[in-house]
Chains A and B, each alone.
Chain A
């Protein structure tokens, strides 16, 4: 019985490692400048965790095969007695591995969060609310008008609570339901939630940001490939969460200018 368990453990360990090793489920192609750091971190983690996992499972199977016995009269040694050295080694090894992953991964994190955006980065405001994302561009004056949450009126498409009648800076702001950006241009996202917690997730961009109501979040990235990508909400936010998404269009600079003119005319 014990030998069967040992074999089962080895079989399950190998079967679950095969799809990972063969990269069966590929992440979408990375279209950002910082994405490779995140992908490398992911690979490093999978390799180190994978090796540790296989080693642990194989050792476990060997011990079960070798030392199990139908005898019930033998003295059972108490843990960790006799294997203290091995236990300490295991703790140190795994501990170092986790710390190393954290240290090497900090560069990926810092690239997105701790370095400020360049002065030429294009600011776009993102508002997540039940159950849609809306975006605001500052318009030709380069300034965002003030927000008045009490003036939000979705029936009138005043989604951000702008007051163009009294706020001059709001008059040229462009509010859209889809986010278009020019390719190879650094984008600075200024994000907030209108009501409950949401999350902004674009897998191809390797951008994933939780929204906490009350917090103003800032991150920046540069997209490197033209195309249409899905922005999905990945934090359960209510009964319409399954339907909460928007589309990101990465365009050539010319197409982006045309798009922005068209959107401005529709305000």
Chain B
């Protein structure tokens, strides 16, 4: 998914670079991810084949391939440093991926290479999680209700689609990244990458349907730089 879009709406560099914000060590890159155009309508999911999950919802859940928020913001976009920062060792805390109500929570989980991934089944039904990597080892694991979490890790950076073998509508993504400078946008589309030492960085924003975009930014001290991304929405 390496589509490069040449769309930059507002790149505010200079100006008041004397904004000495944030971090005890390093500068910050903040911004917003938005879309232009009309995104496809997200279809509702019919879970009638799994009544124990279907009964949890008063109205059907919507597909999450394109989730939009207030102000044309785009959610579930991973914004990360793709160049300019050294690879980092994984933290000791695990990244948690939960199966609840026959959905994956969060829809997109970002974590580091060799960081422990903990997969929890919080439903009354069995799931069979099946990530579909191209670089890492492919596996799928069955998880009946009430069994302990599955523990796994990935040793190569990759964006991995995740599906459930038993429930065809369940889809998610693992973003396995090389360093700790990443954020996932929520409602509002904003992100903040802090504690960046001085240097030249490439900031990349990745969305599962709209591809990725990159911009370069230079940090010289403890200032805050703004980098915004605008994705072109597709009606189908």
Contacts and interface: CB of A to CB of B under 8 A. Distances in A.
Interface of A: 129-133, 154-157, 159, 164-165, 176-178, 238-240, 243-247, 266-267
A156 B65 contact: yes
A177 B236 CA distance: 21
B163 A266 contact: no
Given A129-B168, A131-B168, A155 B49 contact: no
B46 A155 contact: no
B63 A131 contact: no
B171 A247 contact: no
A178 B142 CA distance: 26
Pairs A-B, 9 closest by C-beta atoms:
A155-B171, A177-B46, A240-B166, A157-B43, A165-B236, A154-B168, A178-B48, A266-B44, A156-B65
Chain A interface, DSSP helix/strand/loop, else mixed: loop
B236 A164 contact: yes
Contacts of B63: 155-157
Chain B interface, DSSP helix/strand/loop, else mixed: loop
A131 B236 contact: no
A246 B163 CA distance: 20
Given A132-B168, A177-B47, A246-B49, 6 more contacts: A131-B166, A132-B49, A154-B163, A155-B171, A156-B40, A266-B43
Contacts of B218: none
A164 B235 CA distance: 11
A245 B49 contact: yes
Contacts of A178: 46, 48
A129 B163 CA distance: 14
A244 B60 CA distance: 20
A70 to B, nearest CB: 58
Interface string B152-183: 00000000010101111101000000000000
A129 B48 CA distance: 16
Given A177-B48, A177-B49, A178-B46, A155 B65 contact: yes
Contacts of B43: 156-157, 266-267
B138 interface: no
Nearest to A129: B168
A245 to B, nearest CB: 6
12 contacts: A154-B163, A154-B169, A156-B63, A165-B235, A177-B48, A238-B165, A244-B49, A246-B48, A246-B49, A247-B48, A247-B49, A267-B43
